[in-house]
Amino acid sequence: MQLSHTSASPLRSTRSPLSGQLPAISGQTALFLDFDGTLADLAPEPDEVRLVSGVIPALLRLSGQLDGALAIVSGRRLADLDGFLSPLQLPLASEHGAQRRDAQGRVLSFAEPDLTEPARGVTEFAAQHDGLRVEIKLAAVALHYRHAPELESLCLRVMQEAADRTPGVELLCGKYVFEIKPANVSKGSAIKAFMREPPFAGRLPLFAGDDTTDEAGFAAVQSLGGEGIKVGEGATVAHHRCTSPSALREWLHAAFGGKSREDGQAPAAAPGARP
């Protein structure tokens, strides 16, 4: 079993670009976006997340301007992402890359480990403690402890022990969540797979995300000559930082000369970074 906080590259804090602006989205960009904490603001419960008005039209416009080279890369289930983004059906990688829908609409599943035992054990554990929530996915089991942060150490121990007993998985640590997922997939591997296919191939990739689970994606795009954008605080390998999901959305609205849809302010990178 592996404990995976990020990509293999060491985390470091970054400062915003000297221009004070996030990288430009151009006609040669391949754009990859995380969902929670990036496109959408975080909510007390995953099911309570809502996209603000204007995001779906902005994504539709950007997808057209990029000739379809826009994909969502998330830890959520594919069906959940489609529900949030309806009526759009964008290329996407779900469950950290365990499933991927390509630009032709084909859905590819890369790993489905036997999670029967960890799912049973984690569910029994969560039932004994108020504030814990278990999420069973196609290829992963997630334990959310946002409403019981004092149980972080206990949750980590239980999830690590469950992962140790399950072949072919690793433990991924995110914001108030521990997740047992396949060891051979990541957001980085999903992005690299997209970059080998049209319409993404031959473009410069940009990836925006907010969590330690996005670090593999930042490392992947930067290894391909592109740029990672960390949304919010925290140590990161990304070259750029954005203050908040709202600021990230403003950056998307402003691409190709578009107009702000939320507060009328121009998108800006964070004035500085904190580890």
CA distances to 25, 117, 161, 162, 188 from 155, in Å: 40, 16, 10, 11, 26
Tell how far CA 240 is from the center of its chain: 16
Q: Please state the φ and ψ torsions of residue 236, each to the nearest 5 degrees.
A: -160, 160
80 classed as catalytic: no
Which sign does the torsion angle of CA 160, 163, 169, 174 carry? Answer: negative
> Which of 34, 36, 82, 210 is an active site residue?
34
Which sign does the torsion angle of CA 103, 107, 113, 115 carry? Answer: positive
249: CB partners within 8 A, 6+ apart: 39, 52, 54, 55, 58, 261, 262
Burial of 9 (0-12, 13-18, 19+ CB in 10 A): middle
- Element housing 56 (H / E): helix 55-65
- Element housing 195 (H / E): helix 187-195
**Assigned token pair, 61:** 């416009």
CB of 140 closer than 8 Å to CB of 115: yes
Catalytic residues: 34
